Amino acid sequence: MEYAADLRDIPRTTADARIEEYLASFDLVEDADRRIETYSTGMRQKTAFIQTVLHEPDVLFLDEPTSGLDPRAARRLRESIVEFAAAGATVFLSTHILPVVEAVADEVGVLFDGRLVAEGSPDAVRSRARTGDAGSLEDAFLAVTGGRDDVGEDGDGGEEVARDRDAAADGER
């Protein structure tokens, strides 16, 4: 962690305070002096996240950040993402775990076959996919990527999603 802080030119006292805070937050204090090669996958994932945010960036790019984490650590990481966003950071989150997206995202983009097939707030994406108030983002994902047969059948906005999906598949969007 100190090496990562040095690479970012974080003053030593600031770095030490942040490292201590993050290690405590992610239950790594007792393991701080161990070599990372002895860490479990989840411990390595938490360490990678800490190194990513140690310099308090304005923009975060996170790819599957909860992968390999136990439920407690995954929740803490989601809370950290929300805290960074609330502090004004822009967070780009790539994940297949859609409940994580529902918990932290203000805006969602759905990629399918390398194309953007839906975007907007989670509520807007669910609405466009006609999942209703009870529908999940997973339901919306399945609808806009062709995973459900009821898209576009009753004239309630579903045909727009189907057109968007079809246009993306044809390279028109």
Q: What is the pLDDT of residues 46-78, one digit of tens each?
A: 999 999 999 999 999 999 999 999 999 999 999
Between 25-34, 42-51, 61-70, 156-165, the lowest mean confidence (pLDDT) is in 156-165
Number of Cβ atoms within 10 Å of the Cβ of 61: 12
Position 148 scores a pLDDT of 52
b/e string for 91-125 if b means 16 or more Cβ within 10 A? bebebebbebbebbbeebebebeebebbeeebeeb
The residues near 146 (Cβ < 8 Å, ≥ 6 apart) are 112, 165
Domains of the chain: residue spans and CATH = 2-104 (3.40.50.300), 108-169 (no CATH)
Size of the chain, expressed as the number of residues it contains: 173
Position 171 scores a pLDDT of 53
